[in-house]
Structure 1
Amino acid sequence: MTRFTRRRFIQSIAGIGAALALPRPAWLATAKQPIQKSIPASGESLPVIGMGTSRTFNVAGDPQSMAQLSAVLDAFFDHGGALIDSSPMYGNAERVLGELLSQTERKNLFAATKVWTDGKRAGVEQMEQSRRLWGVDRFDLMQIHNLRDWRTHLETLKAWKAEGRVRYIGITTSHGRDHEELAAILEREPFDFVQFSYNIDNRIAEERLLPLAADRGMATLINRPFQRGDLFRRIQGKPLPDWASDYDIASWGQFFLKFIASHPAVTCVIPATSKVDHMVDNMGANYGRLPDAETRQRMIQYFES
């Protein structure tokens, strides 16, 4: 991957100038502090909107792509973001992210990645490689990706947490698979975080995983909040309801994100994007009011109508 420098950024910025010159969003004019929720294991607070890097940060490292992602990262931090989630599974994402972080004011970075391999030694080597790629002294959160060799990695992560080499430990799945096995693991193992898929059209997690996480005192990270874009295709041409503005919702993206973030057992949602305007819009869900239980049902009914 070609080294990305400030000079190369300046040379390539003309190609994304329009994105960087976005008008100031209306919600930002009255925004104060981001909506935050507590990590049950510690009481530490996190903004409810984080950032994923699956697909979006898996680029070759050409100057234009790096300039665009640098602007995305700046928009994330400038609008109150903290938690960034990645994985060795995501191709070049960790390397790209680390290079961009080295040239970005990290502000309140909460660094979260995953171990995705078999065997203790391979797991340790992979986690150390991730730390070097990110350029961090330690990860805030290390997760076992898609339950892969979870028994082996959990023993390592318990030891690392006790030694202060990671702050929190977690386990993940995605797109609705392995829910039964994941639930069985959560019932007996002491994870600080659990990550899975949940959105307004895929609410299976409400049946067991979300209540279980709440009962066990585990923070939750939510992936695939837009169901890989399917939710936007479902509502194409459909206007936002007038009452959405009562909850500081100015777009369908914010509608979908605030539906998720308003669940009492959800800690942080991690949408992924490579576009600055989409990032700014996503971060609008980081501010204002969250829907109450009655409004959440109203949101479902409107989406499905």
Structure 2
Amino acid sequence: MTTTLSDTAGTFEIAGKKIARLGFGAMRLTGLGVWGEPDDRPECVRVVRRAVELGVQLIDTADSYGPYVSEEIIREAIHPYPGDVLIATKAGLTRNGPDMLRTDEGLVRLGPAAWPPVGRPEYLRQQALMSLRRLGLDHIDLLQLHRVDPKVPLEDQVGELKRLQDEGKVLAIGLSQVTVGQIERARAIAEISTVQNRYNLTDRSSADVLEYCTRHGIGFIPWAPVAAGELARPGGPVDRIAAAHDARPSHVALSWLLARSKVVLPIPGTSKVTHLEDNLAAATLRLSDAETDELTAAA
């Protein structure tokens, strides 16, 4: 019997689809600073196709990736979509240029200033409708509010996603970079299927959100999942554990996340097929309880 990614990573259900818990994040299918065309578009197309071949069933993107480029590449790569693949996209952020620049001194990150939030209901609707068009869909499996716009009541933002859901244009609703309090306010308006917050070996600031999602059966999508920072230094815990398993530090980081909770859905991203294949190998790594506890205590 062939072992699938669902077998090794486990599964989680969203919008009626049971999907492998290790997905693919499509932010890197773009140019430098998540802006414009990638350096090698044919390779990016191959990445998406290979991901599906290897059993990936959750592909996460956003209209602001490029903008638009990531969604267009996904459609080029795998449309018409396999029935077991869930396409997740996001609305609520705009772009005013790349978030990283190449200078004589090296790469300079511009940060959140390059991603202004806009949560007006009419704009969220426009983003969703345009994503439907670009992706070639009649409904979005999972539409996530990319960021909460502080200038617009959260209830208005989630309320518009709920209206899109009621119209059949969206099957499931998610949130991104939110607090427990914001999740509870959103859940008073609509069923929340997923939360996507930054969480990894070096950044546990959303631990309370993960605990809440675990308790309520809400999918938790950790972005920047392979970050290990100082924990991956030579002789450090990640380096040591990776060596013991003949694995890479990124495998350890992803395996630790998968072990944190059955609702965790990591979405490592890349623009290279070889890197994709390497990331997905993490699903076969099984850390011992002692190794998991050591990594958890190491932050």
Separation in structure 2 between the aligned mates of residue 242 and residue 289 of structure 1, nearest angstrom: 10
Q: Percent identity?
A: 20
Which residue of structure 1 lines up, in the alignment, with residue 69 of structure 2? Answer: 95
Separation in structure 2 between the aligned mates of residue 187 and residue 121 of structure 1, nearest angstrom: 21
Q: CA deviation at 1:169?
A: 0.4
Change (3 A) 1:96 1:222: closer
Which residue of structure 1 lines up, in the alignment, with residue 147 of structure 2? Answer: 146
Separation in structure 2 between the aligned mates of residue 233 and residue 59 of structure 1, nearest angstrom: 29
Which residue of structure 2 lines up, in the alignment, with residue 113 of structure 1? Answer: 89
* 1:25-64 pair list within 5 angstroms: 31-34=3-6, 35-39=9-13, 42=16, 44-57=17-30, 58=34, 60-61=36-37
Q: Does 1:280 align with 2:253?
A: no
Which residue of structure 2 lines up, in the alignment, with residue 297 of structure 1? Answer: 293
Which residue of structure 2 lines up, in the alignment, with residue 223 of structure 1? Answer: 223
Secondary structure, aligned partner of 2:89 = strand
Contact kept in structure 2, 1:211 and 1:265, CA below 8 Å: no
Question: Which deviations, in whole Å up to 9, do the C-alpha atoms of 1:231-262 show, x marking residues without a partner?
Answer: 266524444437853xxx72211110111111
Contact kept in structure 2, 1:51 and 1:272, CA below 8 Å: yes
Q: CA deviation at 1:181?
A: 4.6
| One-letter amino acid of the counterpart of residue 272, structure 1 | G
Contact kept in structure 1, 2:139 and 2:170, CA below 8 Å: yes
* 1:114-263 pair list within 5 angstroms: 114-116=90-92, 117-148=118-149, 149=152, 150-173=154-177, 179=179, 181-185=181-185, 188-189=188-189, 190-206=191-207, 208-227=208-227, 231=228, 234-238=231-235, 239-241=239-241, 245=245, 250-263=247-260
| One-letter amino acid of the counterpart of residue 121, structure 1 | E
Contact kept in structure 1, 2:141 and 2:170, CA below 8 Å: yes
Contact kept in structure 2, 1:97 and 1:134, CA below 8 Å: yes
Separation in structure 1 between the aligned mates of residue 242 and residue 157 of structure 2, nearest angstrom: 48
Separation in structure 2 between the aligned mates of residue 90 and residue 103 of structure 1, nearest angstrom: 16
Contact kept in structure 2, 1:131 and 1:137, CA below 8 Å: yes
Q: CA deviation at 1:97?
A: 3.4
Contact kept in structure 1, 2:63 and 2:71, CA below 8 Å: no
Q: Which moved more, 1:32-41 or 1:256-265?
A: 32-41
Contact kept in structure 2, 1:40 and 1:217, CA below 8 Å: no
Q: Any unmatched runs of 5+ in structure 2?
A: 93-117
Separation in structure 2 between the aligned mates of residue 118 and residue 85 of structure 1, nearest angstrom: 20
Separation in structure 1 between the aligned mates of residue 66 and residue 280 of structure 2, nearest angstrom: 25
Higher helix share: 1
Separation in structure 2 between the aligned mates of residue 191 and residue 115 of structure 1, nearest angstrom: 15
Q: Which has the higher contact order (CA 8 A, sep 6+)?
A: 1
TM-score computed with the length of structure 1 as normaliser: 0.73
Q: CA deviation at 1:282?
A: 0.9
Aligned-residue CA RMSD in angstroms? 3.0
Contact kept in structure 2, 1:261 and 1:268, CA below 8 Å: yes
Which residue of structure 2 lines up, in the alignment, with residue 83 of structure 1? Answer: 58
Separation in structure 2 between the aligned mates of residue 198 and residue 123 of structure 1, nearest angstrom: 26
TM-score computed with the length of structure 2 as normaliser: 0.75
Separation in structure 1 between the aligned mates of residue 139 and residue 266 of structure 2, nearest angstrom: 22
Secondary structure, aligned partner of 2:37 = coil
Figure out how many residues of one structure are paired with residues of the other and give that number.
260
| One-letter amino acid of the counterpart of residue 52, structure 1 | G
Q: Does 1:72 align with 2:47?
A: yes
Separation in structure 2 between the aligned mates of residue 127 and residue 155 of structure 1, nearest angstrom: 14
